[in-house]
Chain A
Amino acid sequence: MCFQRGPAHESPKETVTMITFTIDGKSVTAREQDNILDVAQDNDIFVPALCHHRAVRSYGACRLCLVEVNSGTRTRVVAACSYRVEQGISVDTQAPTAVQARNVVMEMLLARCPDSKAVRDLATKMGVAETRFPKQEKDCILCGLCVQVCAEKLGLATLSFVGRGSQRRVMVPFGQQSQDCIGCGACAAVCPTGAIKVHDQGEQRTLSTWNTNLPRVQCSKCGKHFGTVRQCDSVTKKTALGIDASQLCPDCRREAAAGSLSSYFRSQEARPDGRN
């Protein structure tokens, strides 16, 4: 799946104020409600981040994207994902205070999830070789992307953060299969560390992390299993086109659509004046 690069919020169709400021001495322009991290990425300036995704609202949990902002009246270290751009500020992504802090934060993440490839790769990119802190064996960095995607994009809010402090974890209510989960797997797709497991086998889709087993549908044409029953019901309902989404798998549906289109165009060609 690929998510559109764009703002998480809908911009109204009116004039948007443009902001100019500098990042690492480079002059950049942005829209009024943009955050520093997005603008940095758009300008190919590297700022580490793990809990950020354009599809959902900025959450500001991982604290890796720390940068120094000088607004003229004050200088402080902020999380780039949560700080809205302001006219004339100068952002320094290499300020020592910011870099030192984010490196220690990365050490903490390395200690928490030592076997996570995503965390290790980012650590390498940041130049953090190892961690001084006692190792744990977790695979979730509590970035919240799964929770947000399910709530903000799917409108289902199956998942939530449960517990405080080091007890904090992402769960389905009571740890049991939830009525709200449609088994779409968006949570797994957006997870940066691959901590969420989705496994398809024959008629079953298993999301073991959420203790969930859901039946899949079978294509009436080619017999392939695709999607879950709940997922297709949801699509059928949401699109409200009177088409049952569980009948044809995406491939067969494309073929059928291509077929009808071809017939239509052929019927048009038969009439020399193009009229129906």
Chain B
Amino acid sequence: MPRSALGTPVETLDKIRQVAIKRRPPETAEIRVCCGTGCQARGSLDVLEAIKGEVQNLDADGEKPRVKKTGCQGFCEMGTVVLKTPEDFFHCRVKPEDAPAIVHRGSEADESVRKLQFPDPATGEPVNRMQDIPFYRKQKRLVLSRNGSVDPEDILDCIATGGYHALASVLAHTPPEEVIATVEKSGLRGRGGGGFPTGRKWRTCRDAPGAKRYVICNADEGDPGAFMDRSILEGAPHAVLEGMAIGAYAIGARQGFIYVRNEYPLAVERVTLAIAQAGEFGLLGENILGTDFSFSVRVMRGGGAFVCGESTALMASLQGEVGEPRTKYIHTVKSGLWDCPTTLNNVETWANVPIIFEMGADKYASIGSEGSKGTKIFSVVGKCKNTGLVEVPMGITVREIVEDICGGVQNDKQLKAVQTGGPSGGCIPASLADLPVDFDSLTEAGSMMGSGGMIVMDEDTCMVDVAKYFTDFLRKESCGKCTPCREGTDIMYQILCRISKGQGKEEDLELLEEIGKTLKVASLCALGQTAANPVLSTIRYFREEYLQHIRNGVCPAGVCRELLSYSIDPELCKGCGKCVRACPSEAITGEKKKPHVIDAEKCVACGVCYDQCAFNAVQRTSPRKKR
């Protein structure tokens, strides 16, 4: 067993860990400010500075609390989020001027603190501690555990809390064959949407001939509404690096790539810094922890193309070409990047690997459901009260996520559907909300779990519009190489446009179904093969809604503009003029304090006046009134 000057790999890491703990004693109280992209947009960096300033002015009556930035804690609706340890006091919607209240607070909350606390949805009373907040109570945060507690820009903080221990143990005790067996035993399946058994992937790759092989981390998270991978990379980059190192060791790779989509500059920054820091401590690069295992990682940015989330397109992009997929009759584990055996896994998949080795494959396999082991992170967005990231054991139901964790639908509206799997997925109607969320159950219902994006839709969401939205997305993102996807997505989009304008025909639904079937069979890659899913699943569960558009020119949800008329109720209108200013087509006229009128000829039915009116004076009807 090769040794570094400090001993075996575990001994070496332990020595680094002792240094880290000494510099950051765990007993010290901390004030943790979330600095993920979401909270930063709400000014969390200013909050961080304000709190630092306030702490500096504290009388040094004991040890001052450590103030640090952390990764996305998931409760994005409530940003900026600030946590105070050891009590785990939770504060939300924090502004810089709230710094004194947080720094000086005691265990009881006074007025200035109470307004920063999350109100319990049942009692209305402010909740003190993070674990008592319903949003967090039902979660099982394994991958995201570091996101709220560790400073992603400080590797010592990560090591102090156990980071890289799994890698050190593996290098010290576990031959590559056994590493693969452990991953197989854990039941880990790919988290990027495909759900392929990770252990099997690694095994096939390891067995493929070829001296040079690669590992890739797919961080091209393109599903609109999904930001799990962004948060993991911003908040726990070392977990990903550690997972990749273990994987590289198992399959015999020396070089890894992290392909991050162009739209995630902070993630690129954090993971680049993490790689540099890991190199400094001998955790990446040549002779890791004194062993003869060498492994380097390079970060590559995408250029803005959803199709580059597909593995062969991603590899083409890494090779400096356009992101065009190729057929996968020969798998990339045998012939991938530069025609070498390549193991490509999603960010969340890599982040799960150290956890498996820390807790053991059996314990890991005890979490989740029969065919879907472990936890899954979902980004729940849309019309629910608490949007954000949730990590839950697989097998939990859609309803539990939407209602128990995310507080149900906003404004007490009715849940209509939940979209999962992004543009490759489909809608689960409210009637099926008790379905378990895992790899297999949703597929039967015509959707798929996908990478974790979960979009909550209410009665004001038009399912025809949803299908149109996703189809439009796909036709713009289609690389255009193969006939069915290129022509088919365009044709489907045109049909959906007609339907949403009240120009649909009954045969359109059958035609859409036939095009969908063709795309599934004939397309070259998974983008095309799943491109019809949004249309097909909405037709399956909301056929009536489509027929209303086609037969009656009615959009029940009030979204499809050509089928709407807006007018102002003179009884309710106060003549405040807000709608006049908001109208993009200058269709509203009226004197101050007198009832206003919408000119139907000029009105484009955008609905901005409807949104703006504080007196509910704007009326919306469907079908459109004859002009």
With beta carbons under 8 angstroms apart, the residue of B486, B521, B523 that contacts A165 is: B486
CB nearest neighbor in B for A58: B327
Query: Please, which residues of chain B bring their CB within 8 A of the CB of A141?
Result: 483
- A163 touches B (CB below 8 Å): yes
- A105 touches B (CB below 8 Å): yes
A interface, over-half SS: mixed
With beta carbons under 8 angstroms apart, the residue of B480, B522, B523 that contacts A142 is: B480
Query: Please, which residues of chain B bring their CB within 8 A of the CB of A97?
Result: 521
With beta carbons under 8 angstroms apart, the residue of B324, B478, B522 that contacts A105 is: B522
Q: Is the CB of A104 within 8 A of B476?
A: no
Query: Interface residue count for A (Cβ, 8 Å)?
Result: 35
Query: Please, which residues of chain A bring their CB within 8 A of the CB of B478?
Result: 164-166
Known: A165-B476, A165-B486, A165-B489. A78 touches B329 (CB 8 A): yes
CB nearest neighbor in B for A69: B329
With beta carbons under 8 angstroms apart, the residue of A62, A77, A142, A164 that contacts B521 is: A77
Q: Is the CB of B521 within 8 A of A112?
A: no
With beta carbons under 8 angstroms apart, the residue of B305, B477, B480, B524 that contacts A63 is: B524
Which B residues from 551 to 591 make CB contacts under 8 A with A? none
Residue interface bits A214-240, CB-to-B below 8 A is 1, else 0: 000000000000000000000000000
Docked pose: A142 CA to B518 CA in angstroms: 19
- A181 touches B (CB below 8 Å): no
Query: Please, which residues of chain B bring their CB within 8 A of the CB of A161?
Result: 322, 324, 480-481
Query: Please, which residues of chain A bring their CB within 8 A of the CB of B523?
Result: 63
Q: Is the CB of B483 within 8 A of A62?
A: yes
Docked pose: A101 CA to B490 CA in angstroms: 17
Q: Is the CB of B480 within 8 A of A133?
A: no
- Min Cβ gap A19→B in Å is 15
CB nearest neighbor in B for A106: B483
Q: Is the CB of A60 within 8 A of B524?
A: yes
With beta carbons under 8 angstroms apart, the residue of A61, A83, A104 that contacts B518 is: A104
Q: Is the CB of B491 within 8 A of A108?
A: yes
Q: Is the CB of B480 within 8 A of A163?
A: yes
Query: Please, which residues of chain A bring their CB within 8 A of the CB of B477?
Result: 164-165
Q: Is the CB of A104 within 8 A of B515?
A: yes
Q: Is the CB of A166 within 8 A of B490?
A: yes
With beta carbons under 8 angstroms apart, the residue of A64, A82, A105 that contacts B327 is: A82
Query: Interface residue count for B (Cβ, 8 Å)?
Result: 34
Q: Is the CB of B521 within 8 A of A61?
A: no
Q: Is the CB of B480 within 8 A of A168?
A: yes
Query: Please, which residues of chain A bring their CB within 8 A of the CB of B484?
Result: 63, 101, 104-105, 108
Q: Is the CB of B479 within 8 A of A61?
A: no
- Min Cβ gap B441→A in Å is 23
- A253 touches B (CB below 8 Å): no
Query: Please, which residues of chain A bring their CB within 8 A of the CB of B515?
Result: 104
Query: Please, which residues of chain A bring their CB within 8 A of the CB of B524?
Result: 60-61, 63, 79
CB nearest neighbor in A for B523: A63
Known: A79-B327, A108-B484, A142-B480. A165 touches B522 (CB 8 A): no
Name which of B326, B483, B487, B488 has the most chain A CB atoms within 10 A of its CB.
B483
- Min Cβ gap B1→A in Å is 42
Name which of B327, B479, B481, B524 has the most chain A CB atoms within 10 A of its CB.
B481
CB nearest neighbor in A for B507: A132
Docked pose: A252 CA to B480 CA in angstroms: 46
- A145 touches B (CB below 8 Å): no
- A242 touches B (CB below 8 Å): no
Q: Is the CB of A66 within 8 A of B475?
A: no
Query: Please, which residues of chain A bring their CB within 8 A of the CB of B480?
Result: 142, 161, 163-168
Docked pose: A167 CA to B518 CA in angstroms: 22
- A109 touches B (CB below 8 Å): yes
- A54 touches B (CB below 8 Å): no
- B506 touches A (CB below 8 Å): no
- Min Cβ gap A83→B in Å is 5
Query: Please, which residues of chain B bring their CB within 8 A of the CB of A112?
Result: 487
Q: Is the CB of A105 within 8 A of B475?
A: no
- Min Cβ gap B153→A in Å is 36
- B330 touches A (CB below 8 Å): yes
Known: A165-B475, A165-B489. A105 touches B483 (CB 8 A): yes
Q: Is the CB of B483 within 8 A of A60?
A: no
Docked pose: A164 CA to B522 CA in angstroms: 19
Q: Is the CB of B305 within 8 A of A101?
A: no
- Min Cβ gap A71→B in Å is 11
- B434 touches A (CB below 8 Å): no
- A272 touches B (CB below 8 Å): no
Query: Please, which residues of chain A bring their CB within 8 A of the CB of B46?
Result: none
- A134 touches B (CB below 8 Å): yes
Query: Please, which residues of chain A bring their CB within 8 A of the CB of B322?
Result: 161
Query: Please, which residues of chain B bring their CB within 8 A of the CB of A60?
Result: 326-327, 482, 524
Query: Please, which residues of chain B bring their CB within 8 A of the CB of A102?
Result: 522
- A267 touches B (CB below 8 Å): no
CB nearest neighbor in B for A112: B487
Query: Please, which residues of chain B bring their CB within 8 A of the CB of A84?
Result: 329-330
- Min Cβ gap B395→A in Å is 28
- A268 touches B (CB below 8 Å): no
Q: Is the CB of B491 within 8 A of A133?
A: yes
- Min Cβ gap B37→A in Å is 26
- B339 touches A (CB below 8 Å): no
CB nearest neighbor in A for B327: A82
- Min Cβ gap A165→B in Å is 4
Q: Is the CB of A166 within 8 A of B326?
A: no
- B494 touches A (CB below 8 Å): yes
- B362 touches A (CB below 8 Å): no
Docked pose: A101 CA to B488 CA in angstroms: 12
Q: Is the CB of A61 within 8 A of B329?
A: no
- A188 touches B (CB below 8 Å): no
- A100 touches B (CB below 8 Å): yes
Docked pose: A102 CA to B521 CA in angstroms: 9
- A111 touches B (CB below 8 Å): yes
Q: Is the CB of B487 within 8 A of A108?
A: yes
Query: Please, which residues of chain B bring their CB within 8 A of the CB of A132?
Result: 511
Docked pose: A111 CA to B483 CA in angstroms: 11
Known: A134-B494, A161-B322. A100 touches B483 (CB 8 A): no
CB nearest neighbor in A for B330: A84
Docked pose: A101 CA to B327 CA in angstroms: 17
Docked pose: A15 CA to B283 CA in angstroms: 47
- Min Cβ gap B325→A in Å is 10
Docked pose: A165 CA to B477 CA in angstroms: 7
Q: Is the CB of A165 within 8 A of B479?
A: yes
Docked pose: A142 CA to B524 CA in angstroms: 14
Known: A60-B524, A164-B480, A165-B479. A83 touches B329 (CB 8 A): yes
Q: Is the CB of A66 within 8 A of B486?
A: no
Some 29 contacts from A to B, beta carbons below 8 A apart, are A60-B326, A64-B483, A66-B522, A77-B521, A78-B327, A79-B327, A79-B524, A82-B327, A82-B329, A84-B329, A101-B517, A101-B521, A104-B514, A104-B515, A104-B518, A108-B488, A108-B491, A132-B511, A141-B483, A142-B480, A161-B322, A161-B481, A164-B477, A165-B480, A166-B486, A166-B487, A166-B490, A168-B480, A168-B486
Q: Which 9 A-B pairs have the closest CB atoms?
A: A168-B480, A108-B487, A104-B518, A101-B521, A165-B478, A101-B522, A82-B327, A165-B480, A63-B522
9 new A-B contacts, CB < 8 A, other than A63-B483, A78-B327, are: A61-B524, A64-B483, A77-B522, A100-B521, A104-B484, A104-B522, A109-B483, A161-B480, A166-B486
